[in-house]
Amino acid sequence: MLFKKILPNGRLIDCLSKQYRDVYGNVQTLSQLIEKRHGNGEITHKQETDGSIDWNRRKFNRMNYRAQAEYEKRISSKRYYWLVDQYGNGMQVPKTVYDAIDLPIRDKA
């Protein structure tokens, strides 16, 4: 079983029942999509990253040094949670789903 044995959580159930469209145009719930991709061997581990992917260079360059330091602090404090395949391609998931899935955690390489 991919999901850990946890108590029923309304927030988790809502996240897992939300419908997504995959790259092939199929509409499935998040739990079906994760189970399918894990069953095919596509999802191998989970990973946590910071918010550096949201970096806006134009916005940063227009700030003074105090605002730049605050912006860097705010960006680095954001967290994103991913389910990743062996090639490094990831699927972003909510934190409740990330915590409920029983996969090994790997650091960002």
pLDDT in tens, 13-63: 888 899 998 878 889 999 898 888 888 888 889 999 888 888 889 999 999
pTM of the model: 0.78
Tokens, residue 99:
């915590």
For the chain, report the end-to-end CA distance as a whole number of angstroms: 27
β-strands 79-84, 45-50 pairing: antiparallel
pLDDT in tens, 76-102: 899 999 999 888 888 899 999 998 888
Tokens, residue 93:
């998931």
The alpha-carbon radius of gyration of the chain (Å, integer) is 17
